[in-house]
Amino acid sequence: MSPRQTCLACLEREPPAVFEAALWIAAEHDATLQPAEVLGEFATLQQQVSLGLPALPPQELAQPLLRRLSELDFCEDDSPPRPQVALLHKVLQRRRGQPLSLALIALELARRLGIPLQGVNFPGHFLLRVAGADHLLDPCGGRRLYTRDCRELLIRYQGAQAELSASHMRACDGRSMLQRLSRNLHQLHLLDEDYLAALKDAERVLLLGAPTVADHLARAELYQRLECPQAERFDVQHALLLCEDPAQRMLLAERLRQLATPPVLH
């Protein structure tokens, strides 16, 4: 099977092998990566983390786990954004990554160590939680975030008019995590001007969950850059079908008309 097929197959297992699936996403971009080897080496990190955890009940070990990762030098990458901050094998090598990448590592360690921990698809900054707790956890160091902290974080990413809702703080499943990871990689490869790599990520976004208008337009933009007007038209059509904003629908309809017009030859 291809890395893409293997990634999707990992998500069909019970329970889904989310961490391994994320490694297969990285393998789409690095032909030398052997996910089985990374999984084998991960046991060393598991041992290092386990030895540094206090003797507490599993439900009280989520924050100590994140603090232990911080002690082992895992932290958010504050350098200019590059794809390596979202490619999981690179994050493990460098111990630097985006919040979601660090969260995927923490979630896999928690699963192996029997610590209850869940992902939270918080806007702008992926978070973690323990079911029933009155706070969320920052994967970058383990800081507790209560309702006020979450509201401030939301405003930082979405502006003063943003309103915190219960949906922002719900646990999410593996597919939605990897769809977000793929969106992140698409944007990072786009910034890197690697349009073929970004196209792989944009395609994967559409496979991992219900796509949005923005997802189809993201792929349409890539097809436009790669001069594939028929493929661009396909995604603009699907964006129009999903779009509920009247003004945006008018713009998309006009774009479709322009794509349907044959180019003038000189």
210 and 90 in a common domain: no
221 and 252 together in one domain: yes
pLDDT by 10s per residue, the chain, length 266: 999 999 999 999 999 999 999 999 999 999 999 999 999 999 999 999 999 999 999 999 999 999 999 999 999 998 889 999 999 999 999 999 999 999 999 999 999 999 999 999 999 999 999 999 999 999 999 999 999 999 999 999 999 899 999 999 999 999 999 999 999 999 999 999 999 999 999 999 999 999 999 999 999 999 999 999 999 999 999 999 999 999 999 999 999 999 987 655 55
% of the chain exceeding 90 in pLDDT: 94
Distance between CA 200 and CA 196 in Å, rounded? 7
**pLDDT per residue over 149-160, tens digit each?**
999 999 999 998
Domain count of the chain?
Answer: 2
Q: Which of 172, 207, 236 is a domain's end point?
A: 172
Decide which of 172, 198, 230 is a domain's last residue.
Answer: 172
The helix or strand, by DSSP H or E, that contains position 75, with its residue range, turns out to be: strand 75-76
Is residue 69 located within the same domain as residue 161?
A: yes
From the CB of residue 202, how many other CB atoms can be counted at a distance below 10 Å?
Answer: 28
Element spanning 113, H or E: helix 99-113
| Backbone φ and ψ of 73, nearest 5° | 80, 20
User: Looking at the domain assignment, is residue 266 inside a domain?
Assistant: no
Report residue 162 as tokens.
């943003």
Tell whether 265 is covered by a domain. Answer: no
Does one domain contain both 131 and 251? Answer: no
pTM: 0.94
What is the three-class DSSP state of 57? coil
Give me the amino acid identity at 254.
E
Structural domain that includes position 20: 3-172
Are residue 166 and residue 51 in the same domain, yes or no?
yes
Has residue 132 been placed in a domain? yes
Residues 6+ apart with CB under 8 A from 201: 182, 183, 185, 186, 189
